[in-house]
Amino acid sequence: MANVFAILSAIALAAAAFLAVKNKDAYKNEIAARQNEQDRNTKLTAEYNALVDDFNTTETERKSTETETVGLREKETAETKKNSTLETEKGSKSKEAEDNAAKIGKIEEELKEFGSIEELVDKLKATQESLQGLDLDIASATAKQADLTSEKTRTEGVVNAYTVKNTNYSSKKSFFSSTRVSAIYPAYGFVTLPVGGTAGVVAGSPLDVVRDGAVVAKLRVSTVEAGRAAAQIVPDSVAEDTTLMVGDRVVPGSEPAAK
């Protein structure tokens, strides 16, 4: 009986050992399978991420390409419009060129009666040279005329000045603007002036002594030198209660009206 029990125990141990070994191998296989699955998942994840990156890159490139395509289409539209405009202008220019060609042909026909173009050009050059010579002659004559006019004006001014002086001298009228009494000689009845013939004092001419805008005395030039003159005090011409003084203003006067 003990032997049977021992045999059964041995069989049980052997079965347990067999099962343990079998379970161990199964566990190892499961672990290996799980590891393979994890590796596969990792690889698939990496491939997926790579595909996502490629997709994103492709999407960015697509959007960029679409934007570029839109720009190219707009540019194409603009170029098409420009080409259409150029074609229109080309047609217009062609028509203008044809019209100009017709005009040139007509002009050439009209010019035939004048001879060859070379002869006509020579004639035009000769005419232009003649005109330039005439322009120079006219300019020279104009300049001479201007000089003569200027000299005439100057001469007329001198003549007029001498005429006025001669008239003043002949009419015994002084033509200076104004002066002052430089000295008084009451005992002799005359005064002296600091200007003379050079300034326009005329011998025998009447002078007025002016004070505060009123004539207070009359003088008559008696002696004239180049730079000074003497004038007699006209009797009874000095205003009442007035005494002539050095510095009184003197201007050319006028002859009293005949009574």
pLDDT digits (tens, 9 = 90+) for 109-131: 666 665 566 676 777 788 888 78
pTM higher than the cut 0.75: no
The answer to whether residue 245 scores a pLDDT higher than 80 is: yes
Residue-level length of the chain: 259
pLDDT mean over 235-252: 92
Identity at 33, one-letter amino acid code: A
Q: Are both 107 and 179 inside the same structural domain?
A: no
From residue 175, alpha-carbon distances to 107, 206, 207, 236, 251 in Å are 75, 11, 10, 25, 9
pLDDT mean over 192-213: 95
Phi, psi (deg, nearest 5) at residue 257: -65, 140
Mean pLDDT highest for which of 66-80, 164-178, 202-216? 202-216
Structural domain contains residue 33: yes
N-to-C CA span, the chain: 207
Structural domain contains residue 223: yes
The answer to whether residue 204 scores a pLDDT higher than 50 is: yes
Beta sheet of 206-211, edge-to-edge order: 179-180, 249-252, 206-211, 214-224, 229-233, 190-193, 183-185
Structural domain contains residue 245: yes
Domain boundary among 72, 90, 115: 115
Number of domain units in the chain: 2
Phi, psi (deg, nearest 5) at residue 134: -65, -40
pLDDT tens for 2-11 read 676 677 777 7
Residue numbers of the domain that contains 30? 1-115
pLDDT at 257: 46
Cα 111–Cα 116–Cα 120 angle in degrees, nearest 5: 75
Contact in structure between 160 and 223 (CB atoms under 8 Å): no
Structural domain contains residue 84: yes
Contact in structure between 144 and 174 (CB atoms under 8 Å): no
Give me the percent of the chain exceeding a pLDDT of 70: 84
Identity at 178, one-letter amino acid code: S
Phi, psi (deg, nearest 5) at residue 89: -65, -35
Structural domain contains residue 126: no
pLDDT at 157: 65
DSSP-derived pairing of the beta strands 190-193 and 183-185: antiparallel
pLDDT tens for 35-75 read 888 888 888 888 888 878 877 887 888 888 778 878 878 88
pLDDT tens for 81-101 read 887 787 787 777 778 778 877
Contact in structure between 187 and 176 (CB atoms under 8 Å): no
Structural domain contains residue 257: no
What is the 3-state secondary structure of 49-103?
A: HHHHHHHHHHHHHHHHHHHHHHHHHHHHHHHHHHHHHHHHHHHHHHHHHHHHHHH
Q: Are both 22 and 110 inside the same structural domain?
A: yes
Structural domain contains residue 94: yes
pLDDT at 117: 66
Q: Are both 99 and 25 inside the same structural domain?
A: yes
